[in-house]
Every structure is written in C-alpha cells, then in structure tokens.
Copies of this chain bind each other. A is one copy, B any other.
Amino acid sequence: MARGAAVEQTVEVPDSLITGEIEEDIVGNIISIDEVGEGVYEADISFRAELWAGHLGQLLNLVYGNTSMNPHIKVCDISLPNSVLDAFPGPNFGVDGLREKLQVYDRPLVCSALKPRGKSNGYYAELAGQFARGGGDLIKDDHNLVSASFDDFADRVSRCQHAVERANARTGGKCWYLPYLSCRLEEMEKRLEYALAQGVNGILIAPMTMGLEVVRSLAERYPIFIMSHPTMTGSMYVNTTNGMEMALYMGMLMRLIGVDASVFTNYGGRFNLSMEDCLRTADRLREPMSGLKRSWPVPAGGMQYERMNILKEAYGNDTILLIGGSLLEHDESLETATKELIEIIS
C-alpha cells in the first residue's frame, strides 16, 4: 500500500513503465514502515520538494490525491520543508497582529455569532452593538447568514459595522465585526471591497465551500484578517481509516492558506471530536512554522457559557473562544452576558 501511494501520488503508471530516472526523481521514497497496531501500519513516504510545483492544488494532490479514494489510508502527519512553507505568506495578522490591533494582551479573545438566520438586518446590528458594548472582541455573521443579493449583504454589513463602531466610540473598545463572505465567485471581490470600504478589517469564509485556493488567493491579495468556518470539512478528518488527522486539515493547512483564526468543532460540544485532536489542532495553528505567523485556534460548536474557564485552561490564552447560541440564550441582555463572560475568562 505504501508503494502504491508513492507511485499513485506522482506518476500513476504500472511499475513496468517506471524507468530508473523516473524512479529516482519522481516516485515517492518509502523511508520506513512500522506496525503500530494489529494490522495497522505507519508508513513514512518522502517526496522531492519541487514536485509540488509551487501551488497549493498540486501540494494537496501530491500528499493525498488519488490515495484519498483508498478507504484504508489516512494521512497522520505532513512535514513540509521551508522551501514550500516560505512560498506561502500565511496569515496577515495572526495572534500577535490581532492582539496589537485590539489592544488585548492578557486573556483569550471572545467571539460571538449573529444568528439565527431569518431575522432582520436591524436585529443583527442591534446584537452586534450589544456585544461590542459588552466589551466583546470579535462579532461575526453566522455561517448560515447568507445573502442572495448584493444589496442585502451591503445593508447588513453597513448596519452591523456602524453599530459596532458606535459602540466602540462609546466604550473606547476596539471590537471587530467579521461579515461572512459566501456568494458566487464572480461577486466575491465586489462584496469584499464594499465591506472594506465600510471599515471592516476581516471576514469569515468557508474554505471547503468557496475553495481553499480561493481563500489563499484572497489572503495574499488583501490585507485582511481571515476567520475560517469548518462547514463541510468534516469528511476530511472524522473518519478513522481515511482522510487526514484533524490537526493537519484544520490546523496546518488552514494556517498555510492564510487563515488567521480557524474555527473548529470542539470536544464535548454537539460533535464527538476528541480532546486530543482539538488540542493538536491548536498546536498546529500556533507552533513554529518557518516564517508564518501564528494563527488563532477557535474552538466552537455548542459551547456552554459556564465551561469557558475550563477551555481557557485547556487551550491557553492565545485562543478565541467562540460562543454563539449559549450567549444569546443568557437571561440578561447580550451586553450584560458578554461583560460577565469576559470577567469569567479574564
């Protein structure tokens, strides 16, 4: 199977057609194979760096192209040389850049989401303003808050952005509003540029539905803060013997394409992900990675208000705690609930 992958990911021809030169220069090199469990083997395969040809699409193909069709091969780790890493500018802000902009240094950041879909833009703007007045750091659109028309998007963005700015002016805070960028590719830059013109500093975007390559390109071409949403990514990492480790997809890969803050479903919420996978994802977002800035882990998904302190302990200060429904459900106003939450985690 290891040899199969080494051939499949590079030349995809029968062995009889693999000449000495092709074998030497192109086919993957099997470094080791270890039995790590009954009938479970770990193979370390090395590929020549230049085979990635300088673009993300081919990097993905090289690492897990046709092999993804094999239900019994999972990618457990990827180690990229600096020659590859340095071709990616990575996050524009990262952990330190955002802290500097928001002037918050000594606690995790707090993020909430404007929801549910089906309310008016005025309602979302009111929520955004309340969250900012309560001292919250980042308020984003829910990823279900999609606008069929440019006008509806523009209306929501200007209302929410201005509500947050008014609140900031009153409190002296620096809360950011992140609108959700999800539309036809042909309209994406028009929407983004409208948002930037309104004073927005960053966006929420879903790499799996808009395309990882699209996100990478946006991150390189616009000096924006990018929070990624994990919608539709699950099949890449929740299966036991196929796909990738969650930490690779939601950690390493998101950071590589320029994501400043990667939202992932936390352990103990509505989804049954393991604590180990979640913490490793946070590690891959923040560990040294050539010259790339550190990204924020954003554990989310059915987060309980009361558990926030435990999450701060588990993930550390350089974490964005994303709490949506549970904060909105709080007995008090969102402003008061946000204030209380920030006290809890400070």
Q: Which residues of A contact B (CB under 8 A)?
A: 4, 8-14, 16-18, 21-22, 25-26, 50-51, 53-58, 60-61, 64-71, 113, 115-119, 142-144, 146-148, 182-186, 206, 208-214, 216-217, 221, 230-236, 238-239, 242-243, 265, 270-273, 301, 324-326, 328-329
Contacts and interface: CB of A to CB of B under 8 A. Distances in A.
Contacts of A210: 57, 211, 213
22 contacts: A8-B270, A11-B118, A12-B113, A13-B115, A17-B116, A17-B325, A22-B117, A54-B148, A54-B184, A61-B144, A61-B232, A68-B233, A68-B234, A69-B233, A69-B234, A70-B272, A184-B213, A185-B216, A186-B221, A209-B213, A235-B243, A239-B243
Given A54-B184, A58-B146, A211-B213, A22 B232 contact: no
Given A68-B235, A210-B211, A117 B11 contact: yes
Given A234-B68, A238-B71, A10 B213 contact: no
A22 B119 CA distance: 8
B238 A70 contact: yes
Contacts of A70: 234, 238, 271-272
Given A185-B217, A235-B243, A265-B69, A209 B61 contact: yes
B238 A183 contact: no
A235 B232 contact: no
Contacts of A243: 235, 239
B185 A69 contact: no
A209 B69 contact: no
Contact of A271 (B21, B69, B271, B301): B69
B242 A234 contact: yes
A58 B187 CA distance: 14
Contact of A235 (B119, B143, B236): B236
Given A69-B230, A235-B68, A146 B214 contact: no
B68 A115 contact: no
Given A17-B329, A144-B12, A231-B68, A117 B214 contact: no
Q: Which 7 A-B residue pairs are closest in the complex by CB-CB distance?
A: A211-B211, A68-B234, A69-B234, A11-B116, A57-B209, A65-B231, A26-B118
